[in-house]
Structure 1
């Protein structure tokens, strides 16, 4: 009977999962990164690997990509993303990375194979540099960071 369950589970659909961090500076600007492998900017973070929690993934990715060891804050949004930028749907988790201090910002060391640069971006720059779905996700997360709560989004639009 046990092998039937394993076989049944192996046939279930799989979803892409990603986890990112919303870092801000003292001016409430958002930290964005410029990947080497995309033609648009991103939030720091990345793919959740097999048997890895989204929280562990974002902490690992921040260490790998930015050279920062941080404690992640609370979950801000969960965003289901339909096929579009990617050929399949996915679930994205965005955590509150908090306000980075000047010494933390000075310690950022980009992983050259993955990131070209980083920048602090105001609301207008976030909208210019990110695809619309990511810009909506960041706007929702910034609001939740200030006002509290967690939101469920679909394609960057707040549902609940």
Structure 2
């Protein structure tokens, strides 16, 4: 089994959440939170700020740690064929935007970034990471953990 440590940004302003559209190798697009893999020897705190800048063009400031999510993505659900199951450990941070200009990621895995009304999230094809991040931000559980999000319909890994 592969393992990945990732950091994700939950940015909610004026009833809208910042989302990015990930492009899968087969051309499908899925809405998700800005964020991604923590590089070797990188602090997750720094990784989330870097990922927001890379994927959206915006400058983020971390306000608080929200929690941690761990999930196993079966090999059949991974973007790259021939890979094994993946344990993704995600660290979620509440961030605030302090500058920059919204733009798509140049030469990256995201097709664009948008501010989306929280009320419209349920109607989007999205990663379950969006639901986990919103649940953490809205409930602020003392444990830093929320129940797993059921997959299916519009919600994917």
- TM-score by length of structure 2 reads 0.72
Q: What RMSD in Å do the two structures reach over aligned CA positions?
A: 2.6
Conserved? CA contact 1:82–1:155, under 8 Å: no
Higher helix proportion, which one? 1
- TM-score by length of structure 1 reads 0.71
Find the counterpart in structure 2 of residue 36 from structure 1.
23
Segment of structure 1 superposing worse, 29-38 or 50-59: 29-38
Aligned length: 137
Rg larger in 1 or in 2?
A: 1
C-alpha displacement at 1:124, in angstroms? 4.2
User: After TM superposition, where is structure 1 displaced by more than 4 Å over at least 4 residues in a row?
Assistant: 147-150
Find the counterpart in structure 1 of residue 126 from structure 2.
130
Conserved? CA contact 1:81–1:156, under 8 Å: no
Higher strand proportion, which one? 2
Find the counterpart in structure 1 of residue 4 from structure 2.
16
- Taking the TM superposition and a 5 Å limit, the aligned residue runs for 1:110-149 are 110-114=104-108, 115-127=110-122, 128-131=124-127, 133-144=128-139, 149=142
C-alpha displacement at 1:69, in angstroms? 2.6
Conserved? CA contact 2:33–2:130, under 8 Å: no
Match of 1:152 among 133, 145, 149: 145
